[in-house]
Structure 1
Amino acid sequence: MEVKHCGDDDLPSCPDKSNDVFPGGVVSHERASDCEFENMEDSRDFGLLRDFEFCESNEFDEARLFSDFQRYEEQLEAISYHGLLDSLKYDIATPSIETCLKEIAGFGGISSDIRVECAAERSWALPLTTSLEILNRYKCGLKRMRDTRDGIRAHDLSTVDMIRIAGAKFIQSSTSRDANGNLSAHPYDYYLNGYPEEVKRNVRLAMTLFAAAEKVGAQKFEAAIEFLDQCDGLSSACGNSVERIVHHFSGALRERIDREKGTVSEKGLGRRLTLDIDAEIMKPSVPVLMTHQQIPFFQLQQLCTMQTIMENVAESKKVHVIDLGIRNGSQWVILMQVLAARQENPVELLKITAIGTFSPELIEGTGKRLEEFAEDLKLPFSFNIIMLSDMNDFREDLIGLQDNETVIVYAQFLLRSMIPHPDRLEFIMSVIKRINPIIMVVAEIDANLNSPVFVARFVDALLYYSAFFDSFEDCMKRDDENRKFTECVLFAKAIRTIVAAEGEERSERHVKLNVWRAFFHRYRMIEVGLGISSMNQVALMKNSLPCAKSCTLAMNGKSLVIGWKDTPICFLSTWKFPGTSEHDV
């Protein structure tokens, strides 16, 4: 195993760097918009407004509301694409909370005057009731229940369903506020008539969390703490999925209050949580591995990735994979097994080059495990490590490319880490372009968790993690120690970073597939369709899982999106640069 270091002051310096339906229910939609999951119409697919069936029971004009927020989001996303994800700063003229509440019934126009500014990043003050209308991008989804509330059972509703209900009811409950904007003593009960008692409890709890977030957004911290105290009394890290999600988001809001006030409270412990999530996932940790085995998203993503790579190296004798930000390396076991079993045109060498910027001992451990596995398989194998002090030290001459190698670049949950540092993202893409791999495989979270608007980011994060917690509720026992570790350590840190931090401290950032697509198009990259064999394999595996009905697959353009009960979770996308031979892909 070869290890190269670059960029460390105590090591030799490096030269200066130059500046339509598949088996198993996979639905294909050939358009560059957010994917439509089975039984879901995503309101961000702006061209399909005519296909929407809005809830007749709503007391406000959803169609008009949707149109207003369509314009707002289109402008916001257009700026994001042009400005490299989040590198530009914005100043938005937003309505006051009073204006939003008065316009809920009719919803007049919402000002979306966007001006580019050069000031330091700051948290936008978008009112929560305005941000909650973002829920409509996930579709109302409640039409199946509108006339049958008495027949609804608690387990008929997912965690996201109950969060959606809570958001809609929170907006409606605004009419129960007094002249000072405070909620009355029991503002929610009237709006929950007809729901089962367990659903009522969960929805009340989520509505209380929304009330706390609204107060935090308005910097009314004492009022927010009162609502958070109610949340803490009714939620638990060991309860049902709604109680768990509220517990963690309540802690994140408390931390945000601490940061805003410059204090440290007993329950706002996030700042003391110094866990490095990426380093933890790199370890051959039992909780991480066991959770991945029980939750379908990453199994499906890894299977499709390996099948796609195998299709592209079917005739290659020497395969060179450049793994940007390698983790525990478990996915490469699949590729190694298949290549070792190849009778015709046997592989002469599989080389994996791992690029890392931290924890060299963990990467070396990954390499040793893979080398031992390759030895057992009698597979010719080479594992090389390139340690960089900064991704801006990455150069193609460090890779040691050979003329007869088939080169593939693999980036799993790596690019999002560079969103706060767009110069690094631009630089690494320029290096990959010079390497010109046969394909570049990208796996990322498919969620918009990078808005500079605090309350918008809060709502998006709450919906995204609610889907994840719901999958845990269906796939794992509540007292499962691996589940507790993932929720209370990994997810808790991520949630607190997304909700409480701003600027460079907000390191946990994710954007939607369409944003990455626009970014890759800047390099004239071509989106490569996943092979039929890959899609068939992933569909077969999905249908074999106990949670097959809840786990959803869909095509967004030529990329695969994996979701849970209508909520996108992650995507797999393959790309090539102009000039790569068509027969190679």
Structure 2
Amino acid sequence: MSEIFPIEQMSFTEIYNHCTKFQMHQWGLSKDIKCENNSAEEEFLYPKTLHEQTAELFSEFKGFDNSIRDFKSAQCYKVRKVSSDQRKAHAEPVKEEAAWTIPLAGLEILNNYYGSRFSLSHGEKEIASSYDVAQRQVTVRQLTTDGILRLAGEKFIRSCSPRNVDLSLLVGPMSTSFPCLANDEINDVELVQILLMSAEKVGQKQYDCASQLLDLCDGMSSADGNPVQRLVYYFLKALREKIYNETGVIPSNCLDIKQFFDIKEALMSPTPAVISFHKEVPFSQVNYFIGVQVIVENVGEAKRIHIIDLEIRSGMQCIVLMQALASQRRSPLEHLKVTAIGSKSKEKIEETGRRLMSFAMSINIPFSFNVVMIGDMLALNKNQFTLDPKEVVAVISSYYLWTLLAAPNQLECLMGVIRKINPCIMVITEVEAKHNSTAFVNRFTEALFYYGVFFDAVEDCMGHGNPNRFITESMFLNQGIRTIVAAEKEERTIRHVSIAVWRAFFARFRMVEKELSTSSLYQADLVLKNFTCGNSCTLARDEKGLIIGWKGLPVHSLTAWKFL
């Protein structure tokens, strides 16, 4: 007989632990997984007053504007040094008479990502000012991976600026540019700068020079080094793969080119690495609990609820939703239906359905699970969903819509069908990045800074010696980097756009954004208290939605929508 839990008496942490414990038990991994930090005693069921929530919540949140301004304090960090002779040997020869006409490609590669953050339009004087601030601040705070990338980017931009024709900025000793830095910090900045140089050469189709620069990076990077070294290691492998794809010639140290694998399908399998990332890095749990709270608020006391999940994966968010529905409602739920949409891996989806059925039985929720398998999204229609006029429908889209960016007609078809279904709410979580540019240098720079955030977060949350950290980086992060940097056309399956682009797209379907409630943000605050690195996960309002970031840098967006 299923165990009945006194849900109305459970704290937030207990609810989370119960959901996770049940999920791990279903996966046969429960003995290795538990919530370490039980400091959050606030009730999921009875949050504080609106005034208390607002005051407490927003006193902890830092907007991204502040973090962008913090770039002016551009931090500083610690690898091995490449000699001036080595740098000069691999630098492109430049004729003296051509020094005043240095091409601006070096400016473009970074200006497309950070734009005004590097203050390019305001002249060399303002660029130099961040160096001064960095030297004053270096003893106060330690550099993040992003700080290293920014300093390297600045030096790269300065080296390419027509106002600064001193080529020693590119090939001269780093210590003269950053006297405040220790040797290992200098070498991290230099390593990234060489990577940027090689990416620029790839973009200009100067593959021989690019390969020589990558050989330099190879000796300074490692899959087991610090976050900067690991980040560069995977990006240089992706650049070598791109050179191979462009030329048909396998570069040195690039003999292990493998087929791309489907990240979506891999994430459906609850492997120890996937579970460890979910347990120790706060992003997914913050998204889950905010999204669940939004749905609970919008379905109200409806007796029959239908959830359409566009990317159900392991079903963890549905488990959190069931727990919330059981704990927050005054009247019993007559029926909860979950419909999962899939294009492959039907067996894994059905396995998820069985786990959800088992959990629903354990908390006495009448439950049914349906699967809509669709080989071609253009064939999707409203009649494939078992809709009941007595039920309230909500749609969950967690990191799914971006998978259709390569096929915009399929994306439009899906949104058209959802509009016909007319759910009471649609909760959308997406990657907050710009990885859909046709220009290689744009994608490369965006990806470098975006994945730099992840390498920093994984290091802080999972720990350097954690074997699941290595698996997460070598499989999932590496695959994302490879796809964005090395792949083209139909193989470039990973594409992301910013929340501004999504808003413009949703407007075409007469979708209206709903403001996230204070209670939903309060749930995110409670979730973060369960993580030792929770203070590094930042939340910021963006119009009516939310940007979830790491140390002030955007990572994901979460928005809620209604159809007019």
1:555 Cα offset (Å): 0.7
Counterparts of 1:249-260 in structure 2, within 5 Å, are: 249-260=235-246
In the alignment, structure 1 residue 406 sits paired with structure 2 residue 392: yes
1:371 Cα offset (Å): 1.0
1:299-350 Cα offsets, whole Å, 9 max, x none, are 1111101111111122111110001132111111111112234562110111
1:55 Cα offset (Å): 8.4
Bigger CA drift: 374-383 or 159-168? 374-383
Q: Provide the residue aligned with 2:292 in structure 1.
A: 306
1:268 Cα offset (Å): 3.5
In the alignment, structure 1 residue 352 sits paired with structure 2 residue 324: no
Distance change in 2, residues 1:270/1:443 (3 Å): farther
Distance change in 2, residues 1:538/1:458 (3 Å): same
Please, which of 465, 470, 478 is the counterpart of residue 456 of structure 2?
A: 470
Q: Report the AA paired with residue 106 of structure 2.
A: L
Distance change in 2, residues 1:151/1:575 (3 Å): closer
Task: Look up the SS of the partner of 2:368 in the other structure.
Answer: strand
In the alignment, structure 1 residue 431 sits paired with structure 2 residue 458: no
In 1: Cα distance, 2:554 partner to 2:275 partner = 22
In 2: Cα distance, 1:169 partner to 1:320 partner = 54
Please, which of 417, 431, 441 is the counterpart of residue 403 of structure 2?
A: 417
1:231 Cα offset (Å): 0.8
Q: Provide the residue aligned with 1:526 in structure 2.
A: 512
In the alignment, structure 1 residue 244 sits paired with structure 2 residue 230: yes
In 2: Cα distance, 1:136 partner to 1:352 partner = 42
1:53 Cα offset (Å): 9.9
Q: Provide the residue aligned with 2:383 in structure 1.
A: 397
1:550 Cα offset (Å): 1.7
Partners of 2:111 and 2:118 within 8 A in 1: no
- Structure 2 unaligned spans of 5+: 1-50, 75-95, 120-126
Identity of aligned residues (%): 39
In the alignment, structure 1 residue 37 sits paired with structure 2 residue 64: yes
Distance change in 2, residues 1:458/1:23 (3 Å): farther
Bigger CA drift: 129-138 or 476-485? 129-138
1:193 Cα offset (Å): 2.4
Q: Provide the residue aligned with 1:83 in structure 2.
A: none
Q: Provide the residue aligned with 1:277 in structure 2.
A: 263
Task: Look up the SS of the partner of 1:248 in the other structure.
Answer: helix
In 1: Cα distance, 2:56 partner to 2:433 partner = 24
Comparing both chains, which one has the higher relative contact order based on Cα–Cα distances under 8 Å and sequence gaps of 6 or more?
A: 1
Q: Provide the residue aligned with 1:131 in structure 2.
A: 109
Q: Provide the residue aligned with 2:429 in structure 1.
A: 443
Distance change in 2, residues 1:269/1:529 (3 Å): farther
Counterparts of 1:78-97 in structure 2, within 5 Å, are: none
1:293 Cα offset (Å): 1.2
Counterparts of 1:116-265 in structure 2, within 5 Å, are: 127-137=105-115, 139-140=117-118, 146-147=132-133, 149=135, 152-153=138-139, 156-174=142-160, 186=172, 188-265=174-251
1:416-464 Cα offsets, whole Å, 9 max, x none, are 0110100001111110110000011111000111111111111111000
Q: Provide the residue aligned with 2:279 in structure 1.
A: 293
In 1: Cα distance, 2:432 partner to 2:147 partner = 19
In 2: Cα distance, 1:23 partner to 1:278 partner = 39
Task: Look up the SS of the partner of 1:146 in the other structure.
Answer: helix
Task: Look up the SS of the partner of 1:328 in the other structure.
Answer: coil
1:481 Cα offset (Å): 1.4
Task: Look up the SS of the partner of 1:303 in the other structure.
Answer: helix
In the alignment, structure 1 residue 512 sits paired with structure 2 residue 462: no
Partners of 1:524 and 1:577 within 8 A in 2: yes
Distance change in 2, residues 1:397/1:27 (3 Å): farther
Partners of 2:57 and 2:522 within 8 A in 1: no
Task: Look up the SS of the partner of 2:64 in the other structure.
Answer: coil
1:519-550 Cα offsets, whole Å, 9 max, x none, are 00111210011122111221233345322332
Task: Look up the SS of the partner of 1:339 in the other structure.
Answer: helix
Q: Report the AA paired with residue 367 of structure 2.
A: F
1:565 Cα offset (Å): 1.4
Q: Report the AA paired with residue 493 of structure 1.
A: Q
1:128 Cα offset (Å): 3.5
1:147 Cα offset (Å): 4.2
Distance change in 2, residues 1:258/1:302 (3 Å): same
Task: Look up the SS of the partner of 1:315 in the other structure.
Answer: coil
In 2: Cα distance, 1:147 partner to 1:432 partner = 51
In 1: Cα distance, 2:283 partner to 2:100 partner = 42
Q: Provide the residue aligned with 1:501 in structure 2.
A: 487
1:400 Cα offset (Å): 1.0
Q: Provide the residue aligned with 2:364 in structure 1.
A: 378
How many positions carry a matched residue from both structures?
A: 484
Please, which of 531, 535, 552 is the counterpart of residue 521 of structure 2?
A: 535
Distance change in 2, residues 1:395/1:147 (3 Å): closer
Q: Provide the residue aligned with 2:347 in structure 1.
A: 361
Partners of 1:550 and 1:565 within 8 A in 2: yes
RMSD of aligned residue pairs (Cα, Å): 3.3
Distance change in 2, residues 1:538/1:183 (3 Å): closer
Q: Report the AA paired with residue 457 of structure 1.
A: R
Partners of 1:128 and 1:455 within 8 A in 2: no
1:199 Cα offset (Å): 1.3
Q: Provide the residue aligned with 1:45 in structure 2.
A: none
In 1: Cα distance, 2:419 partner to 2:341 partner = 16
TM-score (norm 2): 0.79
TM-score (norm 1): 0.76
Q: Provide the residue aligned with 2:93 in structure 1.
A: none
In 2: Cα distance, 1:575 partner to 1:172 partner = 44
Partners of 2:72 and 2:134 within 8 A in 1: no
Distance change in 2, residues 1:198/1:135 (3 Å): farther
1:151 Cα offset (Å): 5.9
In 2: Cα distance, 1:342 partner to 1:386 partner = 29
In 2: Cα distance, 1:435 partner to 1:358 partner = 23
Q: Report the AA paired with residue 517 of structure 1.
A: R
Partners of 1:28 and 1:556 within 8 A in 2: no
Please, which of 532, 537, 543 is the counterpart of residue 551 of structure 1?
A: 537
- Structure 1 unaligned spans of 5+: 1-19, 30-34, 43-51, 57-97, 105-109, 111-125, 579-585
Distance change in 2, residues 1:392/1:133 (3 Å): same
1:176 Cα offset (Å): 12
1:177 Cα offset (Å): 14
In 1: Cα distance, 2:308 partner to 2:446 partner = 33
1:224 Cα offset (Å): 0.8
Q: Report the AA paired with residue 495 of structure 2.
A: R
1:220-252 Cα offsets, whole Å, 9 max, x none, are 111111111111111111110000000000001
Partners of 1:525 and 1:576 within 8 A in 2: yes
Distance change in 2, residues 1:136/1:422 (3 Å): closer
In 2: Cα distance, 1:176 partner to 1:481 partner = 46
1:140-164 Cα offsets, whole Å, 9 max, x none, are 5997873462662597111001100
In 2: Cα distance, 1:260 partner to 1:232 partner = 20
1:81-116 Cα offsets, whole Å, 9 max, x none, are xxxxxxxxxxxxxxxxx9x99589xxxxx9xxxxxx
In 1: Cα distance, 2:437 partner to 2:117 partner = 20
1:41 Cα offset (Å): 4.0
